Protein backbone atom coordinates (compact mmCIF):
# COMPACT_ATOMS: atom_id res chain seq x y z
CA UNK A 1 0.00 0.00 0.00
CA UNK A 2 1.17 3.52 -0.81
CA UNK A 3 0.16 5.83 2.00
CA UNK A 4 0.88 8.88 -0.15
CA UNK A 5 -1.48 7.90 -2.97
CA UNK A 6 -4.15 6.08 -0.94
CA UNK A 7 -4.36 7.97 2.34
CA UNK A 8 -3.44 11.57 1.48
CA UNK A 9 -4.93 14.04 -1.00
CA UNK A 10 -2.47 16.91 -1.51
CA UNK A 11 -3.84 18.90 -4.44
CA UNK A 12 -1.91 22.17 -4.29
CA UNK A 13 -3.21 23.43 -7.62
CA UNK A 14 -6.81 23.38 -6.38
CA UNK A 15 -6.02 24.01 -2.72
CA UNK A 16 -7.38 20.73 -1.33
CA UNK A 17 -5.69 18.69 1.40
CA UNK A 18 -7.37 15.67 3.00
CA UNK A 19 -6.25 12.86 5.28
CA UNK A 20 -7.93 9.47 5.36
CA UNK A 21 -9.37 8.77 8.79
CA UNK A 22 -8.09 5.20 8.84
CA UNK A 23 -4.70 6.73 9.69
CA UNK A 24 -6.26 7.55 13.09
CA UNK A 25 -8.08 4.26 13.66
CA UNK A 26 -6.16 1.35 12.13
CA UNK A 27 -4.05 -0.88 14.43
CA UNK A 28 -2.02 -1.89 11.36
CA UNK A 29 -1.17 1.74 10.64
CA UNK A 30 -0.20 2.18 14.29
CA UNK A 31 2.27 -0.70 14.01
CA UNK A 32 3.70 0.66 10.75
CA UNK A 33 4.36 4.10 12.22
CA UNK A 34 6.11 2.60 15.23
CA UNK A 35 8.55 0.75 12.96
CA UNK A 36 8.98 3.30 10.19
CA UNK A 37 8.84 6.58 12.12
CA UNK A 38 9.54 6.12 15.82
CA UNK A 39 12.36 3.65 15.23
CA UNK A 40 14.24 6.18 13.07
CA UNK A 41 13.49 9.73 14.30
CA UNK A 42 15.08 11.66 17.14
CA UNK A 43 12.70 11.47 20.12
CA UNK A 44 12.71 13.73 23.16
CA UNK A 45 13.59 12.06 26.46
CA UNK A 46 14.19 14.92 28.91
CA UNK A 47 15.85 18.20 29.86
CA UNK A 48 19.26 18.43 31.49
CA UNK A 49 17.88 20.36 34.47
CA UNK A 50 15.88 17.28 35.49
CA UNK A 51 19.17 15.48 36.20
CA UNK A 52 21.18 18.41 37.48
CA UNK A 53 23.43 16.61 39.99
CA UNK A 54 25.63 13.51 39.51
CA UNK A 55 23.51 10.46 40.32
CA UNK A 56 20.18 12.12 39.41
CA UNK A 57 17.82 10.08 37.25
CA UNK A 58 14.26 10.05 35.91
CA UNK A 59 12.26 7.24 34.33
CA UNK A 60 10.73 7.71 30.89
CA UNK A 61 8.92 5.62 28.31
CA UNK A 62 9.85 6.60 24.76
CA UNK A 63 8.37 4.84 21.71
CA UNK A 64 7.18 2.10 24.05
CA UNK A 65 10.65 1.47 25.46
CA UNK A 66 11.29 1.90 29.20
CA UNK A 67 14.32 4.17 29.72
CA UNK A 68 16.43 5.65 32.51
CA UNK A 69 17.61 9.20 31.77
CA UNK A 70 20.47 10.01 34.16
CA UNK A 71 23.65 11.86 34.98
CA UNK A 72 26.37 9.47 36.10
CA UNK A 73 28.78 10.07 38.97
CA UNK A 74 31.25 11.70 36.59
CA UNK A 75 28.64 14.17 35.31
CA UNK A 76 27.99 12.54 31.91
CA UNK A 77 24.41 12.37 30.63
CA UNK A 78 23.39 8.82 29.77
CA UNK A 79 20.29 6.90 28.72
CA UNK A 80 19.84 3.19 29.47
CA UNK A 81 17.07 0.74 28.80
CA UNK A 82 15.24 0.22 32.07
CA UNK A 83 15.56 -3.55 32.08
CA UNK A 84 17.88 -5.85 33.98
CA UNK A 85 20.24 -7.65 31.62
CA UNK A 86 19.75 -10.83 33.66
CA UNK A 87 16.06 -11.76 33.25
CA UNK A 88 14.51 -8.49 32.07
CA UNK A 89 12.81 -7.18 35.22
CA UNK A 90 12.32 -3.42 35.47
CA UNK A 91 15.53 -2.21 37.05
CA UNK A 92 14.64 1.31 38.21
CA UNK A 93 11.24 1.35 39.92
CA UNK A 94 11.10 4.96 41.12
CA UNK A 95 10.10 7.84 38.84
CA UNK A 96 13.05 9.96 39.91
CA UNK A 97 15.82 10.10 42.46
CA UNK A 98 19.55 10.05 43.02
CA UNK A 99 21.66 6.92 43.23
CA UNK A 100 25.09 5.51 42.50
CA UNK A 101 23.79 1.96 42.14
CA UNK A 102 20.71 0.39 40.57
CA UNK A 103 19.81 -2.96 42.13
CA UNK A 104 17.31 -5.30 40.51
CA UNK A 105 14.68 -6.43 43.02
CA UNK A 106 14.37 -9.87 41.38
CA UNK A 107 17.84 -11.43 41.83
CA UNK A 108 19.74 -8.41 43.22
CA UNK A 109 22.03 -7.91 40.27
CA UNK A 110 23.50 -4.43 40.77
CA UNK A 111 24.79 -1.84 38.30
CA UNK A 112 26.58 1.46 38.81
CA UNK A 113 25.25 4.60 37.15
CA UNK A 114 27.66 4.21 34.23
CA UNK A 115 25.83 0.96 33.41
CA UNK A 116 28.58 -1.40 34.60
CA UNK A 117 27.46 -4.66 36.23
CA UNK A 118 28.96 -4.67 39.73
CA UNK A 119 27.38 -7.52 41.70
CA UNK A 120 25.99 -10.94 40.77
CA UNK A 121 25.01 -12.70 44.00
CA UNK A 122 26.35 -16.24 44.14
CA UNK A 123 28.96 -15.50 41.51
CA UNK A 124 30.67 -18.83 42.24
CA UNK A 125 27.75 -20.56 40.52
CA UNK A 126 28.72 -19.20 37.11
CA UNK A 127 31.16 -20.87 34.74
CA UNK A 128 34.37 -19.40 33.34
CA UNK A 129 32.47 -18.45 30.17
CA UNK A 130 30.32 -15.97 32.11
CA UNK A 131 31.70 -12.44 31.72
CA UNK A 132 30.21 -9.54 33.65
CA UNK A 133 31.07 -7.10 30.86
CA UNK A 134 28.60 -8.91 28.60
CA UNK A 135 25.77 -7.88 30.95
CA UNK A 136 26.41 -4.17 31.33
CA UNK A 137 23.35 -1.97 30.80
CA UNK A 138 22.56 -0.98 27.25
CA UNK A 139 20.88 2.02 25.74
CA UNK A 140 19.53 3.50 22.51
CA UNK A 141 21.89 3.67 19.54
CA UNK A 142 22.19 7.47 19.68
CA UNK A 143 21.86 10.07 22.46
CA UNK A 144 22.41 13.78 21.90
CA UNK A 145 21.23 17.16 23.15
CA UNK A 146 20.51 20.68 21.95
CA UNK A 147 20.11 23.65 24.31
CA UNK A 148 19.61 21.22 27.21
CA UNK A 149 16.92 19.18 25.43
CA UNK A 150 18.03 15.54 25.16
CA UNK A 151 16.89 13.13 22.47
CA UNK A 152 17.39 9.45 21.68
CA UNK A 153 17.42 7.67 18.35
CA UNK A 154 17.14 3.90 17.96
CA UNK A 155 18.73 4.03 14.50
CA UNK A 156 22.53 4.00 14.58
CA UNK A 157 22.65 5.42 11.05
CA UNK A 158 20.36 8.37 11.75
CA UNK A 159 21.62 11.87 10.87
CA UNK A 160 23.15 13.97 13.64
CA UNK A 161 20.64 15.72 15.88
CA UNK A 162 21.54 19.27 14.83
CA UNK A 163 21.11 18.30 11.16
CA UNK A 164 17.78 16.67 11.98
CA UNK A 165 16.55 19.79 13.80
CA UNK A 166 17.64 22.04 10.94
CA UNK A 167 15.65 25.28 10.71
CA UNK A 168 13.79 24.44 13.93
CA UNK A 169 16.86 25.52 15.91
CA UNK A 170 16.00 29.17 15.19
CA UNK A 171 12.75 28.79 17.11
CA UNK A 172 14.30 26.76 19.91
CA UNK A 173 16.86 29.54 20.30
CA UNK A 174 14.05 32.13 20.55
CA UNK A 175 12.77 30.19 23.56
CA UNK A 176 16.04 29.41 25.30
CA UNK A 177 17.65 32.80 24.74
CA UNK A 178 14.91 34.38 26.86
CA UNK A 179 16.88 33.25 29.92
CA UNK A 180 20.03 34.94 31.21
CA UNK A 181 21.51 31.78 32.69
CA UNK A 182 19.73 28.94 30.91
CA UNK A 183 16.34 27.31 31.31
CA UNK A 184 15.12 24.73 33.78
CA UNK A 185 12.15 22.41 34.00
CA UNK A 186 10.08 23.44 37.01
CA UNK A 187 9.51 20.61 39.48
CA UNK A 188 6.40 18.58 38.75
CA UNK A 189 4.66 17.53 35.56
CA UNK A 190 1.26 16.95 34.04
CA UNK A 191 0.64 13.38 32.97
CA UNK A 192 -2.64 12.24 31.48
CA UNK A 193 -4.00 9.87 28.88
CA UNK A 194 -6.37 10.79 26.08
CA UNK A 195 -8.78 8.50 24.26
CA UNK A 196 -7.69 9.57 20.78
CA UNK A 197 -5.01 8.93 18.21
CA UNK A 198 -1.73 10.68 19.05
CA UNK A 199 -1.66 12.59 15.76
CA UNK A 200 -4.80 14.50 16.75
CA UNK A 201 -2.87 15.94 19.71
CA UNK A 202 -0.03 16.95 17.38
CA UNK A 203 -2.54 18.77 15.18
CA UNK A 204 -4.30 20.40 18.13
CA UNK A 205 -1.08 21.63 19.72
CA UNK A 206 -0.30 23.93 16.79
CA UNK A 207 -3.80 24.62 15.48
CA UNK A 208 -4.97 28.23 15.69
CA UNK A 209 -8.29 27.60 13.96
CA UNK A 210 -9.99 26.06 17.01
CA UNK A 211 -8.97 28.78 19.49
CA UNK A 212 -11.90 31.21 19.00
CA UNK A 213 -14.44 28.40 19.50
CA UNK A 214 -12.95 25.82 21.87
CA UNK A 215 -11.14 28.44 23.96
CA UNK A 216 -13.80 31.16 23.83
CA UNK A 217 -14.15 31.06 27.62
CA UNK A 218 -10.48 31.88 28.09
CA UNK A 219 -10.62 34.67 25.52
CA UNK A 220 -13.63 36.14 27.33
CA UNK A 221 -11.80 35.82 30.65
CA UNK A 222 -8.83 37.77 29.28
CA UNK A 223 -11.08 40.44 27.79
CA UNK A 224 -13.16 40.75 30.97
CA UNK A 225 -9.96 41.39 32.91
CA UNK A 226 -9.00 44.18 30.52
CA UNK A 227 -6.56 42.12 28.47
CA UNK A 228 -6.23 40.99 24.88
CA UNK A 229 -5.98 44.54 23.58
CA UNK A 230 -4.13 43.59 20.41
CA UNK A 231 -7.24 42.49 18.56
CA UNK A 232 -5.37 42.08 15.26
CA UNK A 233 -3.04 39.51 16.77
CA UNK A 234 -5.13 36.54 15.72
CA UNK A 235 -4.80 37.71 12.11
CA UNK A 236 -1.04 38.39 12.12
CA UNK A 237 1.53 35.69 11.46
CA UNK A 238 1.00 32.12 10.35
CA UNK A 239 2.53 28.71 9.89
CA UNK A 240 5.86 27.65 8.41
CA UNK A 241 7.36 24.40 7.13
CA UNK A 242 10.79 24.08 8.77
CA UNK A 243 11.83 20.88 6.99
CA UNK A 244 12.14 17.28 8.27
CA UNK A 245 8.53 17.39 9.41
CA UNK A 246 9.18 20.24 11.87
CA UNK A 247 6.76 23.14 11.74
CA UNK A 248 5.81 26.28 13.64
CA UNK A 249 2.82 28.54 14.04
CA UNK A 250 3.95 32.03 15.07
CA UNK A 251 1.72 35.01 15.72
CA UNK A 252 1.45 38.24 17.65
CA UNK A 253 0.68 37.53 21.28
CA UNK A 254 -2.98 38.35 21.79
CA UNK A 255 -3.18 37.08 25.37
CA UNK A 256 -1.28 37.25 28.60
CA UNK A 257 2.38 36.24 28.61
CA UNK A 258 4.59 36.48 31.69
CA UNK A 259 7.57 37.33 29.50
CA UNK A 260 7.57 41.11 28.98
CA UNK A 261 3.91 41.32 28.01
CA UNK A 262 1.82 42.85 30.77
CA UNK A 263 -1.92 42.20 31.20
CA UNK A 264 -4.20 43.81 33.83
CA UNK A 265 -4.79 40.55 35.69
CA UNK A 266 -1.07 40.39 36.46
CA UNK A 267 -1.70 43.46 38.64
CA UNK A 268 -0.47 47.03 38.42
CA UNK A 269 2.38 46.28 40.82
CA UNK A 270 3.79 43.77 38.29
CA UNK A 271 3.93 46.17 35.37
CA UNK A 272 7.32 47.71 36.09
CA UNK A 273 8.88 44.30 36.67
CA UNK A 274 7.49 42.90 33.40
CA UNK A 275 8.68 45.97 31.49
CA UNK A 276 12.12 45.45 33.04
CA UNK A 277 12.20 41.99 31.47
CA UNK A 278 11.73 43.55 28.04
CA UNK A 279 14.43 46.12 28.74
CA UNK A 280 16.83 43.30 29.64
CA UNK A 281 15.94 41.33 26.49
CA UNK A 282 16.58 44.41 24.34
CA UNK A 283 19.92 44.99 26.04
CA UNK A 284 20.99 41.39 25.39
CA UNK A 285 19.48 40.70 21.98
CA UNK A 286 18.67 43.99 20.31
CA UNK A 287 15.30 45.64 19.71
CA UNK A 288 13.96 43.47 16.87
CA UNK A 289 14.83 40.07 18.31
CA UNK A 290 13.77 41.02 21.83
CA UNK A 291 10.36 42.20 20.67
CA UNK A 292 9.95 39.03 18.65
CA UNK A 293 10.66 36.95 21.75
CA UNK A 294 8.31 38.95 23.94
CA UNK A 295 5.62 40.11 21.55
CA UNK A 296 4.96 36.94 19.57
CA UNK A 297 4.00 33.45 20.57
CA UNK A 298 5.04 30.23 18.86
CA UNK A 299 3.78 26.67 18.81
CA UNK A 300 6.69 24.54 17.59
CA UNK A 301 6.59 20.91 16.48
CA UNK A 302 9.75 18.83 16.52
CA UNK A 303 8.67 15.86 14.41
CA UNK A 304 7.15 13.52 15.27
CA UNK A 305 5.84 14.10 18.80
CA UNK A 306 7.51 16.98 20.67
CA UNK A 307 5.70 20.30 21.05
CA UNK A 308 7.23 23.46 22.52
CA UNK A 309 4.40 25.88 23.31
CA UNK A 310 5.65 29.41 24.00
CA UNK A 311 2.21 30.92 24.48
CA UNK A 312 0.71 31.66 27.90
CA UNK A 313 3.91 30.18 29.28
CA UNK A 314 6.64 27.89 27.97
CA UNK A 315 5.53 24.29 27.92
CA UNK A 316 7.27 21.11 26.81
CA UNK A 317 4.74 18.55 25.57
CA UNK A 318 5.73 14.98 24.75
CA UNK A 319 3.06 12.86 23.09
CA UNK A 320 3.49 9.10 23.57
CA UNK A 321 1.34 6.83 21.38
CA UNK A 322 -0.24 3.92 23.27
CA UNK A 323 -2.62 2.46 20.68
CA UNK A 324 -4.43 3.55 17.55
CA UNK A 325 -7.05 5.25 19.71
CA UNK A 326 -5.11 6.26 22.83
CA UNK A 327 -2.07 8.33 23.74
CA UNK A 328 -0.38 9.72 26.83
CA UNK A 329 0.69 13.33 27.20
CA UNK A 330 3.44 14.55 29.51
CA UNK A 331 3.85 18.29 29.99
CA UNK A 332 6.44 20.33 31.86
CA UNK A 333 6.74 24.05 32.55
CA UNK A 334 10.03 25.60 31.41
CA UNK A 335 11.35 28.73 33.11
CA UNK A 336 14.57 30.76 33.23
CA UNK A 337 16.86 29.64 36.03
CA UNK A 338 16.93 33.18 37.40
CA UNK A 339 13.20 32.87 38.19
CA UNK A 340 13.81 31.10 41.48
CA UNK A 341 11.18 29.31 43.51
CA UNK A 342 9.03 31.77 45.45
CA UNK A 343 9.80 34.70 43.16
CA UNK A 344 7.01 36.86 41.76
CA UNK A 345 8.24 36.22 38.23
CA UNK A 346 8.02 32.46 38.55
CA UNK A 347 4.63 32.69 40.27
CA UNK A 348 3.25 34.77 37.38
CA UNK A 349 4.61 32.26 34.90
CA UNK A 350 3.13 29.25 36.69
CA UNK A 351 -0.22 30.98 37.23
CA UNK A 352 -0.37 31.75 33.52
CA UNK A 353 0.64 28.18 32.67
CA UNK A 354 -1.96 26.62 34.95
CA UNK A 355 -4.74 29.01 33.98
CA UNK A 356 -4.51 28.07 30.34
CA UNK A 357 -2.78 24.67 30.06
CA UNK A 358 -3.20 23.18 33.52
CA UNK A 359 -5.29 20.01 34.13
CA UNK A 360 -8.13 22.23 35.37
CA UNK A 361 -7.30 25.18 33.12
CA UNK A 362 -9.26 26.83 30.36
CA UNK A 363 -7.58 24.92 27.51
CA UNK A 364 -6.49 21.37 28.29
CA UNK A 365 -9.83 19.82 29.38
CA UNK A 366 -11.63 21.31 26.38
CA UNK A 367 -8.91 20.14 24.00
CA UNK A 368 -9.13 16.60 25.37
CA UNK A 369 -12.90 16.65 24.95
CA UNK A 370 -12.52 17.82 21.34
CA UNK A 371 -10.01 15.11 20.44
CA UNK A 372 -11.96 12.31 22.08
CA UNK A 373 -15.06 13.57 20.29
CA UNK A 374 -13.19 13.31 16.97
CA UNK A 375 -12.10 9.76 17.76
CA UNK A 376 -15.69 8.86 18.57
CA UNK A 377 -16.81 10.40 15.27
CA UNK A 378 -14.26 8.32 13.35
CA UNK A 379 -16.37 5.24 14.16
CA UNK A 380 -18.85 6.39 11.50
CA UNK A 381 -18.41 4.79 8.08
CA UNK A 382 -18.59 8.15 6.29
CA UNK A 383 -17.13 10.61 5.65
CA UNK A 384 -13.80 8.84 5.20
CA UNK A 385 -11.63 11.97 4.93
CA UNK A 386 -10.68 14.85 7.23
CA UNK A 387 -10.02 18.23 5.63
CA UNK A 388 -6.89 20.28 6.38
CA UNK A 389 -7.07 22.68 3.41
CA UNK A 390 -7.35 26.01 5.18
CA UNK A 391 -4.95 28.64 3.82
CA UNK A 392 -3.46 26.66 0.93
CA UNK A 393 -3.83 29.57 -1.49
CA UNK A 394 -4.28 32.65 0.71
CA UNK A 395 -2.06 35.10 2.54
CA UNK A 396 -0.65 33.69 5.80
CA UNK A 397 -2.92 33.69 8.84
CA UNK A 398 -2.50 32.09 12.29
CA UNK A 399 -5.73 30.16 11.75
CA UNK A 400 -4.37 28.48 8.61
CA UNK A 401 -3.03 24.94 8.57
CA UNK A 402 0.27 24.77 6.68
CA UNK A 403 2.01 23.66 9.88
CA UNK A 404 -0.40 20.73 10.18
CA UNK A 405 -0.02 19.85 6.51
CA UNK A 406 3.75 19.88 7.06
CA UNK A 407 3.36 17.19 9.70
CA UNK A 408 1.14 15.02 7.51
CA UNK A 409 3.38 15.30 4.45
CA UNK A 410 6.37 14.17 6.51
CA UNK A 411 4.33 11.43 8.19
CA UNK A 412 3.14 9.69 5.01
CA UNK A 413 6.49 10.19 3.30
CA UNK A 414 8.26 8.47 6.19
CA UNK A 415 5.77 5.60 6.09
CA UNK A 416 6.28 5.14 2.34
CA UNK A 417 9.96 5.91 1.77
CA UNK A 418 11.67 6.33 5.14
CA UNK A 419 12.54 9.88 4.08
CA UNK A 420 11.02 13.26 4.78
CA UNK A 421 8.90 15.07 2.23
CA UNK A 422 10.56 18.00 0.50
CA UNK A 423 10.17 21.25 2.40
CA UNK A 424 7.39 23.47 1.08
CA UNK A 425 8.88 26.83 0.15
CA UNK A 426 6.43 27.74 -2.61
CA UNK A 427 2.78 27.25 -3.52
CA UNK A 428 1.96 27.93 0.12
CA UNK A 429 2.50 31.44 1.45
CA UNK A 430 4.85 31.29 4.46
CA UNK A 431 4.56 33.46 7.54
CA UNK A 432 6.80 36.52 7.80
CA UNK A 433 9.84 35.66 9.85
CA UNK A 434 10.00 38.46 12.36
CA UNK A 435 6.55 40.07 12.22
CA UNK A 436 7.71 43.64 12.41
CA UNK A 437 4.47 44.66 14.08
CA UNK A 438 5.43 42.86 17.30
CA UNK A 439 5.57 45.30 20.16
Q: For 16-38, how does the pLDDT look when each residue is reduced to its tens digit (9 = 90+)?
A: 999 999 999 999 999 999 999 99
Q: How many domains does the chain have?
A: 2
The range of the structural domain enclosing residue 101 comes to 44-146
Tens digits of per-residue pLDDT, 392-404? 988 777 889 999 9
Residues 172, 104 within the same domain = no
Give a yes or no: residue 153 inside a domain: no
Q: Which of 342-346, 379-383, 393-397, 413-417 has the lowest mean pLDDT?
A: 393-397
- Cα separation, 254 vs 349, in Å, equals 16
Give a yes or no: residue 36 inside a domain: no
Q: The whole model's pTM is what?
A: 0.94
Question: Per-residue confidence at 427, pLDDT binned at 50, 70, 90?
Answer: low
Residues 213, 181 within the same domain = yes
Tens digits of per-residue pLDDT, 240-274? 999 999 999 998 876 667 887 787 878 899 999 99
Tens digits of per-residue pLDDT, 78-112? 999 999 999 999 999 999 999 999 999 999 999 99
Residues 114, 178 within the same domain = no
- Cα separation, 282 vs 97, in Å, equals 39
Give a yes or no: residue 152 inside a domain: no
Residues 137, 203 within the same domain = no
pLDDT in the model for residue 231 = 53
Residues 220, 74 within the same domain = no
Q: Which of 8-22, 321-335, 352-366, 405-419 has the lowest mean pLDDT?
A: 352-366
Residues 176, 213 within the same domain = yes
Give a yes or no: residue 100 inside a domain: yes
Residues 285, 142 within the same domain = no
Amino acid sequence: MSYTSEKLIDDRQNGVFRVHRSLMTSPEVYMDEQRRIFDHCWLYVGHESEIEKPGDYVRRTVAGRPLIFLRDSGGEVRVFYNTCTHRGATLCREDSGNTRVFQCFYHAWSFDNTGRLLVTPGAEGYSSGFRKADYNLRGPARVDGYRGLYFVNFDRDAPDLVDYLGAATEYLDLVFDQACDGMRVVDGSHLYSVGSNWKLMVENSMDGYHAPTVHATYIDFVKDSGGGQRGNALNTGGGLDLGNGHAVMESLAAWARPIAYWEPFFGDDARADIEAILDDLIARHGEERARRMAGTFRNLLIFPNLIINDVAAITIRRIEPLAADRHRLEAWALAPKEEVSGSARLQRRLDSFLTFLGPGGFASPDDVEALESCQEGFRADEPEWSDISRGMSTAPNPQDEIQIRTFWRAYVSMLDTGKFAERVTSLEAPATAAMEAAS
